[in-house]
Structure 1
């Protein structure tokens, strides 16, 4: 809001009354006063019957309205503690609270998502580790034959890591559509349960430059999980590998 007559409402308000940003409508007070306003913004949260307006718009409908809350933006470098004490000394009925630019809820969500991502990465790498160990045991004869005809331990390691990296790439490509589909299902459920309305720009987050890293992450996780068992298999001697032949 930049001038009187402009209001901001939640997505639930817009949906309930069939409004879009930029449209104008008339507000009517109980005593017959009317005020024409224009919807200039949307917020994610808020009741379906409330909107936000500047003080001039409010008093045009209700001249006797009184404020019960004040928002004060301090100058950069101002002493918040001193300001709080001054407010309390001026009016003991006021209870000032400090609000920083850091959103604790957002920090919590990002921290939880990051921790979950790290845990899933470790679990995926351990799964690859187990797969490579089993594969090395099953292919012990083949590895012994390859080493007997001149393949070096480094070449054996690279061969096994690359094979797992290829599977990681396939897994990433197949997993991305499933992840996007789950995103499209979960986000509307979140909106409904939390009474939020996310704007379209916040939901349209899938772009080529954001999809490529997760696909490559599958390659990195698979290669990381395959390195240790691949090196262990490459260090086996030819005689040990072929002892059952």
Structure 2
């Protein structure tokens, strides 16, 4: 199992690139490569985040090798994660009105890139008027709402769980084809993305989010709930289901 935090990486490793554009990290039997927008071998320039996430008993990299996972008066920042040919392209989250103690799961797999492609939290009341363009995932808002700031998806026998600290406005996005054609040539790689939304932002002020990416063997939904509960418990004064 591996944990990756957006605010810090609690792993040990050393940069591989001459200018420290990317670095290799390992914990237990798992390895990952994290870098900036520079190209690195088959990895294309312009995509920062997790280049590679593998384990000795995993048949493939969880993320598409070419890209990275984890990229008016409203500030919006979008992170894209292109997932490497999962049989199930869906992500799963807790539906509006449910909780960690009384979960009701929603399966979310968009039919087409840019259609109903963003899910807001149940308390997200920010309305954004976009000017021009079409097809961007953040522009098309789905009627679904989530109750807890986390989602998961499965890649072969493993699960990727994206868990976010409470506080900031986080939105989930999905595309069935955003990661391009799969290496097999008979399917497309989905995008499992997320956004940070900051309404009424102030110039010169820092904004951010804290998240954890969990990659581990699939052990069922109760295990996913427990991972979310443990992460939420690390924030004093905020209940696991609050």
TM range (shorter): under 0.3
Q: TM-score, normalised by structure 1?
A: 0.20
Q: TM-score, normalised by structure 2?
A: 0.20
Higher helix proportion: 1
Higher relative contact order (CA 8 A, sep 6+): 1
Higher radius of gyration, 1 or 2: 1
Higher strand proportion: 2
